[in-house]
Amino acid sequence: MENINKYNLKEEYLVICNFKEGLARVLNKEGLWGYIDSEAKEVIACQYKGSCDFQGGLAKVKNEDNLWAFIDKEGKEITSHKYKYVTDFKDDLSVALTQDNELNFINKEVLLENSLDSKKTKVLK
């Protein structure tokens, strides 16, 4: 786990996952997930009911309403929490199930471009 063992994190976290893309998922004592860096600094606050490892600069996170969104490594929400289910990206596409049980395809390149440009996210249907 990189150099994380030199920090005593047992007081703060119940679970510390392996590092992916420089960040590790952590579960705090309140049952919320966040992310730490290799210096054990919590870079994305423990605020999520569920989380996944980063993949290509994005991670899936679940809110208290059990809805999923994608965040970047700074914790910025790239999509809103409106999906009942989202898949990992494959060939820059993710399949997402909306609250209305509609399937959407989310294009990763569009998400990242829109995030950088602060434009509205485009979702392909």
pLDDT digits (tens, 9 = 90+) for 86-113: 999 898 889 999 999 988 888 887 665 5
What is residue 8's predicted lDDT score, i.e. its pLDDT? 66
What is residue 6's predicted lDDT score, i.e. its pLDDT? 55
End-to-end CA gap in the chain: 40
* Domain range 1-54, CATH class: mainly beta
Dihedral class, residue 103 (left if φ above 0, else alpha if ψ from -120 to 50, else beta) = beta
Query: In 10 A of CB 34, how many CB atoms?
Result: 21
What residue spans define the domains of the chain? 1-54, 72-125
- List the beta strands (DSSP E) in the chain: 13-20, 23-28, 33-36, 42-48, 50-51, 58-62, 68-72, 83-86, 93-98, 103-107
pLDDT digits (tens, 9 = 90+) for 11-61: 889 999 999 999 999 999 999 999 999 999 999 999 999 999 999 999 999
What is residue 60's predicted lDDT score, i.e. its pLDDT? 96
Stretch 58-79: mean pLDDT: 95
| Helix residue spans in 1-125 (DSSP H) | 108-117
Q: What is the pTM of this model?
A: 0.81
What is residue 53's predicted lDDT score, i.e. its pLDDT? 97
| Chain-centroid distance, C-alpha 39 | 19
Of 1, 3, 25, 2, the closest CA to residue 14 belongs to 25
Return the structure tokens found at 85: 């289910």
* Residue 11: burial class (beta carbons within 10 Å; 0-12, 13-18, 19+): exposed
